[in-house]
Amino acid sequence: MTRPEFDIAIIGTGPVGCTLALCLARQAPEPSRIVLLGPDAVPSPDKQQIDPRTLALNHGSRSLLESLGAWPQQCADILSVHVSQAQHLGRTLIDQVELGVPRLGSVVAYDAVLTALHQALAHSGIHRILARPQRPIAGPSVRIQTPDQTLDAHIALVSNGERPQGLHREYGQHAVLASVQATQPITGRAFERFTRHGPLALLPHPQGKALYSLVWCVPPARAQMLHTMDAPAFDNALQQAFGQRLGALHGIGERHVFPLVMHAGASLLDPHIVALGNAAQTLHPVAGQGLNLGLRDAAQLAQTLAPWLHQPQRDAAPELARFAQQRRADRSLTLAITDTLPRLFATANPLVRHACGTALMALDLLPGLRKPLARHLLQGLRS
């Protein structure tokens, strides 16, 4: 059989696909044998506008991107996370000192991360095709069709955000994203507040010390109301939901609304086709685990394929099957945490809500309970 044009085809030019490409290029003796397919996703940001679309990347994700030379200059560190439940006693505080790390994570603008990744890709040596391909077709080699050409690769790695088939859940919530200014900011502190209708997160914003990035999960009708409210009404609603911990809160700039749905499917789509990132799972944004899980997928897959890259004439199916097995525990636990928390805290059952408050209090008092959860949110399960 003739050798296909490429050893690896990566479909998807978002953060996970670009990170995977950089990880593989670092391992490959011939980076040009790797092709990255997808539209040019580099944004043209307006420097004058405060962008509410931010990403909370944990310590492990930041270390990975820094090692790839793809960490943006502008970021806001998360040194502690305050977790509480509205109208109930009990809260817990997680901080970086207890876990022995310089920070729990960092908040960066989505556009800034994507720009840094694409700048690093320009020097990686991998091949780029700026076109949106069709689904890869399995065969003796994997075939990929673009509007202008057909190409073959030994394996295809899909990270294009196409929703996976398998588990599915509608949360009955939409996320309202906005930027917020606080009169009494607390440096480095993020907040996760569970309300009766869904979690509300305020994260340090990379564009200013008094700014926060808001992710407010509420029923769809409420989300549309918040989206169209005038500024004073929105500020008042947010203040009532969050409280006074940061003083007065004032929304700035645009608001965005996104529906919240969980999808999760198999990572091994075929012996020679793997899905990762949002093509394998899309999660509820509680605790900010979606992209962090996808970046762990990318790092593990590159590590698993490293020996094969030096002998690409071998069948890669055993390596891809091993990757799927290695990632199963981390994916399952992260999915369980992000699926359970928003439904548990949003229950109408008063006994369950009181139990949740008691659980938060127990986490705060007992490091033996708090640290394993914090460690998982910090870096996931390692295999």
Q: Per residue, what are the HEC states of the chain?
A: CCCCCEEEEEECCCHHHHHHHHHHHHHCCCHHHEEEECCCCCCCCCCCCCCCCEEEEEHHHHHHHHHCCCCCCCCEEECEEEEEECCCCCEEEEEHHHHCCCCCEEEEEHHHHHHHHHHHHCCCCCEEECCCCCCCECCCCEEEECCCCEEEEEEEEECCCCCCCEEEEEEEEEEEEEEEEECCCCCCEEEEEEECCEEEEEEECCCCCCEEEEEEEECHHHHHHHHHCCHHHHHHHHHHHHCCCCCCEEEEEEEEEEEEEEEEECCEEECCEEECHHHCEECCCHHHCHHHHHHHHHHHHHHHHHHHHCCCCCCCHHHHHHHHHHHHHHHHHHHHHHHHHHHHHCCCCHHHHHHHHHHHHHHHHCHHHHHHHHHHHHHCCCC
**Closest Cα partner for 210 from 187, 176, 236, 238?**
187
How far is 280 from 229, CA to CA, in rounded Å? 36
Say which amino acid occupies 159.
S
**Closest Cα partner for 35 from 16, 10, 13?**
10
Q: What is the pLDDT of residue 359?
A: 62
Q: What is the pLDDT of residue 1?
A: 47
Distances (CA, A) of 4 to 12, 131, 310, 378: 20, 19, 16, 40
How far is 56 from 15, CA to CA, in rounded Å? 13
Q: Which CATH class is domain 6-166+262-379?
A: alpha beta
Tokens 């309970």 correspond to what residue?
Answer: 369
**Closest Cα partner for 260 from 302, 218, 306, 320?**
218
Q: What is the pLDDT of residue 347?
A: 65
Dihedral, CA of residue 309, residue 314, residue 315 and residue 316, to nearest 10: -20
Q: What is the pLDDT of residue 345?
A: 72
- CB of 194 closer than 8 Å to CB of 356: yes
Distances (CA, A) of 331 to 276, 283, 376, 380, 383: 10, 11, 11, 9, 12
- CB of 60 closer than 8 Å to CB of 376: no
Dihedral, CA of residue 105, residue 106, residue 107 and residue 112, to nearest 10: -130
What phi, psi does 164 have (nearest 5°)? -75, 155
Domain boundaries, the chain: 6-166+262-379
Tokens 């700014």 correspond to what residue?
Answer: 211
Q: What is the pLDDT of residue 287?
A: 81
How far is 95 from 154, CA to CA, in rounded Å? 45
What phi, psi does 30 have (nearest 5°)? -130, 85
Q: What is the pLDDT of residue 364?
A: 61
Q: What is the pTM of this model?
A: 0.92
Task: Give the chain's length.
Answer: 383
**Which positions of the chain have pLDDT values less than 50?**
1
Q: What is the pLDDT of residue 91?
A: 80
